[in-house]
Amino acid sequence: MKLPPGFEQGKAGKLCRLRKSLYGLKQAPRCWFTKLASSLQSYGLCNSNSDYSVFSYARGDIRLHVLIYVDDLIILSNNSTALSAFKDYLTSCFHMKDLGVLKYFMGIKVAHTFEGIYLCQRKYALDIIAEYGLLG
């Protein structure tokens, strides 16, 4: 472990106390979720009553939904300006990378068309079949 910038290496018997940890401990996922949820709520999103990993924002005609899976976020909105502003907010709070339009999620292929969004688990099903040696 390194000392933070501005601290000098001490003498034998001197210690630095770690006040807060975010990574590496069993409570790290909980700490991360608490920090993320707090940031989302500060922006005005409300936690879903039925699923703690879903947050929603509704003001006037603007709808914004966030699904959290570990450290990945799926963000949906009906307003591109609101979506960009929300992404900018998240970037100011966290180091994050925008991976663009959702294509795969948990083994599910996501296809966007003019008619709607289609979900397909063909690859996932083929992987399971191959794992058990049942491919012809």
Hey, how many other C-beta atoms are within 10 angstroms of the C-beta on 66? 21
pLDDT for res 115: 95
CATH class of 23-100: alpha beta
C-alpha to C-alpha distance for 37 and 68, rounded to whole angstroms: 10
Binned average pLDDT, 10 residues per bin, the chain of 136 residues: 72 72 74 94 96 96 95 94 96 92 90 93 91 89
Q: Residue 13's pLDDT is what? A: 75
Task: Give CA 3 to chain center in angstroms.
Answer: 29
Instruction: Say what the pLDDT of residue 85 is.
Output: 96
Is the whole model's pTM more than 0.95, yes or no?
A: no
Note the pLDDT of residue 79.
Answer: 96
> What are the boundaries of each domain within the chain?
23-100, 101-136
pLDDT at position 27, please? 81
